[in-house]
Chain A
């Protein structure tokens, strides 16, 4: 199957490099006799994984749910705000700078406040992910809406399109690729955002799992969590990639090449 061959061609080099790094890591730890509470060898991390595989799924589910919910909220909010910002120039001029400033308030400052306000449950985590994911989406989507082809807008207007029809038929579809580009960035950080928020205070989640492992000096378990977080991030990235493909089928067709044929 060509799909399998393409996947092999695309991902085999990265997988091979990862494997090589793991081998070097294992060898280095053994040869240099590094203490496990400093840097555990991959084999030790694997053993730790087997120990915690009963409790880990619950934490994983919590973090994944927080990340997914937060990402969904930031997508909806980001797309909605982008439409408003693109729609009215005065609003854009007023709000855009504030948006940029808001991005410079560090998460480590925001997260504890949100926990104080909203408690140890999922809500503050979802909010952190939403706040983090919102910005790339709103910026990319606004840009996409504003970059829509002016000639297309003109064509639609020449056939009597209303402002709303122009938005629905031309501007929004033009901005879909930009929206997904933004969502892709947000997806890559969503899991991280949830974990950082859990760090501050949580009753479940990979962030809590890490804090507990650290207090117990179980560095090997911390590494297990890191590996799981990485896997989760890749999964959310891949999910968005798939969603983009499904939402934009026209972007994945072979170009040109249809047979020319004129009928008299």
Chain B
């Protein structure tokens, strides 16, 4: 049905009924291949979260078609359950998705060290630092038995240093636990550090103004950020964000 694609969005528009009515998305087209890491870059309020909520089947588009096979959704806020300990939070999504509790717990325990939460399985979310909370929310998403991850600004609330650490860490985790990822961000460097392909959105109503492949090898480390290729791509993304590059839309492939 999806012809090898994990996500297929065609001409999706959405207007929130309001009042006042908000035209959030306007004819968005996005394709994500299986195993691909796609970043969705756009200014605040352009409808990025709305698009993910459509893909997670939480809202219906006003027009157009959005198809995705099993997605695990990580919302913009970490949304940990204060009344569940770390381990309980980790298995929350898996449990709801029908994984037997014992198996979910076993898999969670196995992944705790990789997510930097070893020794904290009995802690409450309130006892975790911001970065740990975010990793726990990611662990919850990873443990859901779903092929595709929808990550809504997973590191948006973190300081710059922690964010860079987390980006490198996410690359390592994905190398070991491969998934298809659609990541929302409004950080140009984050998009370039992580993605195979970057889609750039316009301000509201959100449209796709550019689709830019990131042909930079992995792993991408501190040296990558200052390489000429990286800087050239960054300039293109910034130009697209600033609206100077409507001609760039869907240009290269």
Contacts and interface: CB of A to CB of B under 8 A. Distances in A.
Interface stretch (A132-140, A204-212, A237-245, A247-255): A247-255
Contacts of B172: 264
Given A160-B96, A250-B124, A258-B123, A155 B75 contact: yes
A149 B81 CA distance: 10
Contacts of A159: 72-73, 92-93, 96-97, 144
A165 B166 CA distance: 32
Interface in B123-152: 123-129, 131-132, 144
Given A159-B144, A160-B97, A160-B98, A260 B131 contact: yes
Contacts of A249: 124
A173 interface: yes
A263 B114 contact: yes
A145 to B, nearest CB: 14
A158 to B, nearest CB: 4
A162 to B, nearest CB: 9
A106 interface: no
B63 interface: no
B56 A258 contact: no
15 contacts: A151-B77, A154-B58, A158-B56, A159-B93, A159-B97, A165-B96, A173-B81, A173-B83, A176-B83, A255-B126, A255-B127, A258-B120, A259-B129, A260-B132, A264-B169
B165 to A, nearest CB: 5
B165 A262 contact: yes
Give the dominant DSSP class at B's interface: loop
Contacts of A165: 96
Contacts, number: 84
Contacts of B72: 159
Interface of B: 53, 56-58, 72-73, 75, 77, 79, 81-83, 92-93, 96-98, 113-114, 116, 120, 123-129, 131-132, 144, 162, 165-166, 168-169, 172
A261 interface: yes
A262 B79 contact: no
Contacts of B77: 151
Nearest to B57: A158
Contact of B127 (A158, A169, A254, A262): A254
A155 B120 CA distance: 23
B32 to A, nearest CB: 18
Contacts of A254: 127
Contacts of B113: 263
Given A161-B96, A263-B169, 9 more contacts: A151-B77, A159-B73, A159-B93, A159-B96, A160-B96, A255-B126, A256-B128, A258-B128, A264-B168
Contacts of A28: none
Interface centre among A151, A254, A262 (most CB of B within 10 A): A262
A254 B172 CA distance: 32
B221 to A, nearest CB: 11
Nearest to B168: A264
Contacts of A253: 124, 126-127
B129 A260 contact: yes
A170 to B, nearest CB: 8
Given A161-B96, A173-B81, A248-B83, A258 B129 contact: yes
A65 interface: no
Contacts of A262: 116, 131, 162, 165-166, 169
A256 B144 CA distance: 27
